[in-house]
Amino acid sequence: MYNTAKLKLKEGKQIVGGTVSSSDPEIYNAMANAGFDFLWIEMQHSPLTHHEVARMIWAGKGTPAIPFVRVPDSTEGDIQKAVDNGALGIIIPMVETVEKARAGVKFAKYPPIGKRSQGGGQYGALWGNDYRRTANDNIMVVAMIESPDGVAIADQIAAVPGVDVVFVASTDLGSFSGYKQGEPQYESLVTKIHDVTLKAGLKLGGPMAWKNRPGYTFFQGPGETSLIRSGAQAALGMTAAPGTRSGVAPTEGEEHRKPETPKKP
């Protein structure tokens, strides 16, 4: 098992993924070494191409964060390319039918679970020569529920074999339902997804702001622009980075190094 994000979920821990929409490998590496458990590579709402994503994932080889891809749709072409490029997580947007969730599993997994084709790709160089034997155990499928239509069949989505996480898309759920977070009608939709997902034994996902909501263990974290903004604000406020000493200028190039694990006393 080389999908460390999946391992943490199995251990009952929470995991957080930073959102990446830029094709810059340096930005990808900075995010991959920042402490996130996985990276949410955004292909639904960005101009990223599969070629660019392949370069990003390759540039991040050996970094701690596991690559997940939110594909534009649950199609064979998009999912096949994403897993061939080395993604260990497939995030399916706008799941409003059981067939869409099943397609996510079908094209992400090799037989006998799915019908993924044994084509080429960089997956072997990333995850080892026994990848084809181990891929099904490591690849995760995340089904996003974003509308009342999806909520209405949430129990059926959670019952699809091979789906690992059901994700509550908080913003779009409000957009499509017309209700705001905190309103009883909105919260009743969220509660239904919560209850049927946990009852099915799956993991429940949502925005990072919901980390303190009971039952949630899979979170989408902020994107690069938000992190740059908050980082700049911290720098301008003279907030010292962890491990630095007050009044001591940082060494150029240190920001590209992987943070060291603190030694136990």
- Supply the residues annotated as catalytic: 45
Nearest alpha carbon to residue 84 among 48, 111, 110, 47 = 110
226-265 per-residue burial string, b: 16 or more CB within 10 A, e: under 16 = ebeeeeeeeeeeeeeeeeeeeeeeeeeeeeeeeeeeeeee
CB burial of residue 119 (10 Å; 0-12, 13-18, 19+): exposed
CA–CA–CA angle 73, 219, 162 (5° rounding): 50
Give the pairing of strands 165-168 and 38-42.
unpaired
- Give, in order, the Cα–Cα distances in Å from 173 to each of 205, 218, 223: 14, 17, 20
